[in-house]
Amino acid sequence: LSTRASTVLQSLGLPTSGELAGVYDGQWKGSGEVMESRCPATGEVLANVRTASPQELHETIEKSRAAYRQFRNVPAPRRGEILRQIREELAAKRDNLGALVSLEMGKIKTEGVGEVQEFVDICDYAVGLSRMMNGRVVASERPGHVIYEVPNPLGVVGVLSAFNFPVAVYGWNLALSLAAGNATVWKPSPTTPLCSIAVSKIIAGVLERNNIPGAVASLVTGDKETGKDLVKSRDVELVSFTGSEAVGRNVGEKVASRFGKVILELGGNNASIVMPDADLSLAIPAVFFGAVGTAGQRCTSTRRLYLHRKVAPEVLERLQKLYKSVIPGDPLAADTLLGPLHTRSAIKTYLTAVDYLRSSGAEILTGGSKYSEEALAPGNFVQPTIAIPKSPEPKDRIWSTETFAPVLNVAIFDELEQAIEWNNNVPQGLSSSLWTRDLRHLGKWMGPSGSDAGIVNVNVGTSGAEIGAAFGGNKSTGWGRESGGDSWKQYVRWSACTVNYSDAAPLAQGVNFAA
Ligand code: UN1
């Protein structure tokens, strides 16, 4: 292993040779296939991970069920105290974990560290929540009666997370699920097993010290089949899935067919709209971060840019300057702004998208190919690209499909209504952003005829949401909500409890059933 990689692994107590156990249910194991973790910047194999056999997955779910039956009786504030300890451990290892995210996923260090911070933040949120998961007292129409709406723990939560946020998205789910009194089984992306092992080790240590069964936070690394089996299991009450629309459709159908609960976080295809009255010194850097940050591999990445005709030339000129200043390279190096795409095959996705742009008559303003520097050749580096497609028509696949790479498509508009229509006329509905200082535009944008996305920002880019609000998208993004807001309410089972304190037993709605 290179010194670069072994320093990161050692800082987290991960072995630098041999095979790692990729399954945890109170004990570390893994007798399924061996999976490679590969560094997207160098191509180096970072680790070989022993994944879950079908039998081990089955046993893990059983152990998590048993753990849930015990854990649901632990008082919620006590569960919060465990989350507080997890938070402390994560914060203490924030830098090292952030570096591991960079090493294995490929995002630059500040974003890797930011992702761990996001987990810390949601832990803080869930600690508070553990004393605030309040039900309701409802007025009864009957004398001497009262109705309580009571949230109780739900059961086992299956979390299937994606490569692009290998730590934070699990964090959102774990924190709420644990506060709610559930057990989770985590199936991470097959290409980021090290992040999941490092995080699970931290959590396991805290659970152990608190005499809580480790299967409250189980881990099953594996491939598609492992994911499918987890999704199918009737012993998993809630499946939280982050990933592509195609897989998400399958997951949704499978879970619905067994009457399970599901949270879907699928593709985004997010637009920024710049009005002529916008403060361009704020808008331009934000679009730059939204489109180029994480090498365009956030669900929330800016993929469409709608510019008012009056500001289009200036915005494009200034944006291109920023694009030209991008330094690609080792995501762990301090001055790097652009890391690699996560997988080799993503290069092909990128090149196919650019080819289609060219062949359909788009103008490529900047970027449009792989980097030719020899030093970058072992990694999956592609140039951030700005294109002006020939037609602004949202139905064209250029506008209607999500390409998980740094490609920004631009169109020019004259009226806000036109831009909002373009913003909305795609299948996805995750994030959207309007740049304006005019209150009237803001009202339109946030109101009934405004953006139909789940995230509707003003003078804030499409990506980089805080944890406090519910995160998620509408339409083909799957309508899921995670993280803050009311998301926690999905991780509990609600009971409507009508209690009669009186000496009579009247029926509701005045029904008379006397013999
Ligand atoms: C994702 O891309 O799957 O809003 C999650 C953001 C991050 C989370 C992104 N807080 O960009």
Q: What is the ipTM of this complex?
A: 0.98
Among candidates 138, 87, 137, which has minimal Cα distance to 116?
87
Contact 83, 67 (CB under 8 A): no
Ligand 1 binding pocket includes 457 (Cβ within 6 Å): no
CA 153 – CA 163 distance, rounded (Å): 29
Q: Determine the pLDDT at residue 515.
A: 87
**How is 428-452 classified by DSSP, letter by letter?**
EESEEEEE-S-HHHHHHHHSTTS--
Q: With a cut of 50, which residues of the chain have pLDDT below it? A: none
Ligand 1 binding pocket includes 294 (Cβ within 6 Å): no
Quote the DSSP letter at residue 386.
E
Name residue, tokens 């699990």. Answer: 170
CA 465 to centroid of ligand 1, rounded, Å: 7
For ligand 1, mutation pick of 300, 402, 431 (most atoms within 8 Å of CB): 300
Ligand 1 binding pocket includes 463 (Cβ within 6 Å): yes
For ligand 1, mutation pick of 172, 471, 477, 487 (most atoms within 8 Å of CB): 471
Ligand 1 binding pocket includes 467 (Cβ within 6 Å): no
Contact 302, 430 (CB under 8 A): no
Quote the DSSP letter at residue 104.
H
Contact 185, 68 (CB under 8 A): no
pTM over 0.95: yes
Ligand 1 binding pocket includes 165 (Cβ within 6 Å): yes
Long-range CB pairs of 87-90, under 8 A, 24+ apart, other chains included: 87/120, 87/123, 87/124, 87/127, 89/202, 89/205, 89/206, 90/116, 90/119, 90/120, 90/123, 90/199, 90/202
Annotated catalytic residues are 265
